């Protein structure tokens, strides 16, 4: 597989990229900081042991850079089978309420700009006759909930976009994989109290990779979160208003 990973320097993106490098996939990394990308590329090269891993700077806050970054990726990989997006912005609800500018940025990055990047990526995949677009949304987008009002709203929009994309372009060969991670212990969730069923990035990455290979449209990870969210979706509004979850 020739894959672009946007967000491979940290957390679940790092775990997923390592799994892919380990089985021999050709990778190209996108991310914000050149020095950080360079280190992750070297890491994946040594772990994969199968040739160079390229990278290009790409920032979800700078959509004008998306086409150039994907051009560089396609050129370096000599093709493109999959585009994986784990990059996003995260902050707690308290912080977002206290910092309206950060909230605005998060909504733009996690929804508008992520969608803009996906549009750029899916055009390229379709032009090549199809491929896989795997994007990390979140269980936070399943219901409006107190701890994730703003972040969840952006992820709900992203999930809806990915579903629409799947319906519209499936027949044309585009496989859309919308990943909905539950609480996973990464640097993103560092410092937050871990709920029951919290997962680790490596098993989550293994589950996501299986979904990418099969083209599963929606994947919850860890798997138990599919059940947790099934319950949450069924809760009456009056109940959800009372509880803190």
Partner 1 sequence: MLYGWGRVGVPAQEVRSEDLEAITKGAVLSRGLGRSYGDSSLPPPSRPTAANTTLADRILAFDEASGLLRAEAGLTVLDLNRLFVPRGFFVPVSPGTQFVTLGGMVAADVHGANHHVAGCFGAHVESLRLRVADGRIVECGPDREVDLFRATVGGMGLTGHVLEVAFRMKRIPSPWLVVETERMKDIDAFMEGLKAAARDWPWTKGWIDCLKGGAHLGRGVLFRARWAEPHEAPRHRPRARPRPGVPFVVPFSLVTPLTVRVFNSLVYHFPRRTRAIEHPETFFYPLDVVLDWNRLYGPRGFTQYQCVLPSATGPQAARRFLERLTRRGGASMLCVIKDCGPEGAGVLSFPKAGISIALDIPIHDDTQSLVDHLNELVIAEGGRIYLAKDAFTRPEHFRAMEPRLGEFERIRRAWDPQGRIKSAQSVRIFGDAP
Least distance to partner 1, CB of residue 29, Å: 12
Nearer of residues 10 and 143 to partner 1, judged by Cβ? 10
Least distance to partner 1, CB of residue 141, Å: 25
Nearer of residues 22 and 164 to partner 1, judged by Cβ? 22
**Cα separation of 212 and 19, whole Å?**
12
Nearer of residues 89 and 177 to partner 1, judged by Cβ? 89
Nearer of residues 183 and 220 to partner 1, judged by Cβ? 183
Distances (CA, A) of 102 to 41, 61, 85, 148: 30, 12, 21, 14
Least distance to partner 1, CB of residue 60, Å: 18
Nearer of residues 50 and 143 to partner 1, judged by Cβ? 50
Give which of 210, 145, 225 is closest to 180, Cα–Cα.
Answer: 225
Contact indicator for 219, 178 with CB cutoff of 8 Å: yes
Least distance to partner 1, CB of residue 43, Å: 4
Instruction: Give me the sheet containing 2-6, strands edge to edge.
Output: 54-57, 26-31, 2-6, 82-85, 131-136, 174-181, 218-221
Residues that bind partner 1 (CB under 8 A): 9-11, 14, 39-40, 42-43, 46-47, 49, 186-187, 190-191
In terms of C-beta density within 10 A (0-12 exposed, 13-18 middle, 19 or more buried), how is residue 201 classed? buried
Nearer of residues 36 and 120 to partner 1, judged by Cβ? 36
Nearer of residues 11 and 157 to partner 1, judged by Cβ? 11
Least distance to partner 1, CB of residue 31, Å: 11
Least distance to partner 1, CB of residue 45, Å: 9
Least distance to partner 1, CB of residue 187, Å: 5
Residue 154 structure tokens: 């952006």
């Amino acid at each position: 597989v020739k894959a672009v990973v946007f967000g491979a320097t940290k957390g679940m993106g790092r775990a997923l990229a390592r799994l892919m490098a380990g089985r021999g996939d050709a990778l190209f990394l996108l991310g914000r900081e050149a020095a950080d990308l360079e280190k992750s590329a070297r890491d994946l090269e040594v772990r994969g042991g199968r040739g160079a891993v390229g990278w290009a700077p790409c920032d979800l806050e700078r959509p004008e850079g998306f086409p150039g970054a994907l051009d560089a990726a396609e050129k370096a990989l000599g093709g493109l089978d999959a585009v994986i997006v784990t990059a996003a912005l995260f902050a707690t609800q308290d912080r977002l309420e206290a910092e309206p500018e950060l909230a605005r940025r998060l909504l733009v990055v996690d929804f508008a700009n992520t969608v803009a990047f996906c549009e750029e990526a899916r055009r390229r995949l379709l032009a090549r006759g199809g491929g896989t677009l795997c994007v990390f949304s979140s269980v936070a987008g399943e219901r409006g909930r107190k701890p994730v009002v703003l972040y969840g709203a952006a992820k709900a929009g992203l999930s809806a976009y990915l579903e629409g994309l799947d319906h519209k372009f499936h027949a044309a060969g585009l496989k859309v994989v919308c990943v909905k991670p539950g609480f996973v212990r990464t640097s993103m969730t560092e410092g937050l109290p871990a709920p029951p069923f919290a997962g680790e990035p490596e098993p989550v990455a293994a589950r996501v990779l299986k979904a990418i290979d099969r083209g599963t449209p929606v994947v919850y990870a860890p798997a138990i979160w599919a059940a947790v969210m099934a319950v949450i979706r069924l809760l009456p509004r009056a109940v959800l208003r009372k509880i803190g979850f």
